[in-house]
């Protein structure tokens, strides 16, 4: 007979399953849930036709912001997450990550890459990038001097001002 799981374990497995379904890279699912890579890989192979990507992880949100549109989209996502988790905790809550993704999809009618979403929150919370308020439109955006499309407000850029 399998060991009995506590309600917390069951919730943790449910969250892990959802993260795998949305194709969060397995080392990140492992990091967020503490579940070993092997069972996570089995789960991935059950859900998806292609095996999990083996390549290097893109390690920062900077790799996902290639234009004003992606900058604006990820800024909107971070704003939603910050509303759900206003405390300045220096870690990503996987259940709240999923809730914020669902809310974002409802508003944007588009599914965000969960890997980009994860790094956006993590980098903002870890202060690897800066969460700034635009002096012109007052919208929050992800600022970094290291990337061209992160040096100014993406919403103003989209408006062409
Ligand atoms: Zn602006």
| pTM of the complete model | 0.92
| pLDDT tens digit sequence for 124-150 | 999 999 999 999 999 999 999 989 999
pLDDT at residue 89 tops 80: no
- What's the CA-to-centroid distance between 136 and ligand 1, angstroms? 5
Quote the ligand 1 centre to 130 CA distance (angstroms): 15
Each residue of 99-119: b (16+ CB within 10 Å) or e? ebbeebeeeeeeebbbbbbbb
> Phi and psi at residue 131, in whole multiples of 5°?
-95, 110
Ligand 1 centroid to residue 99 C-alpha, Å: 26
48 and 75 Cβ atoms separated by less than 8 Å: no
Provide the token pair at 104.
């974002």
Q: What is the pLDDT of residue 57?
A: 82
- CA 16 to ligand 1 centroid distance, Å: 36
Calculate mean pLDDT across residues 16-30: 97
Kindly give the distance from the C-alpha atom of residue 110 to the centroid of ligand 1, in angstroms, as a whole number: 22
What residues have a C-beta under 5 A from ligand 1, the ion?
134, 136-137, 153, 155-156
Q: What is the pLDDT of residue 58?
A: 81
CA dihedral 3, 7, 95, 41 (to 10 degrees): 10
């Amino acid at each position: 007979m399998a060991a009995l799981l506590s309600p917390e374990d069951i919730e943790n497995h449910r969250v892990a399953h959802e993260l795998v379904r949305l194709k969060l890279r397995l080392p990140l699912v492992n990091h967020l849930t503490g579940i070993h890579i092997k069972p996570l890989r089995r789960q991935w192979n059950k859900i998806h036709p292609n095996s999990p990507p083996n390549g290097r992880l893109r390690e920062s949100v900077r790799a996902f912001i290639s234009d004003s549109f992606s900058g604006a989209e990820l800024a909107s996502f971070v704003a939603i997450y910050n509303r759900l988790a206003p405390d300045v905790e220096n870690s990503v809550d996987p259940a709240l990550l999923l809730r914020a993704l669902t809310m974002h999809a409802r508003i944007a009618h588009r599914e965000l890459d969960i890997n980009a979403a994860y790094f956006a929150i993590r980098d903002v919370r870890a202060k690897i990038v800066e969460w700034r308020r635009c002096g012109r439109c007052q919208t929050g955006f992800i600022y970094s001097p290291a990337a061209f499309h992160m040096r100014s407000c993406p919403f103003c850029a989209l408006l062409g001002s």
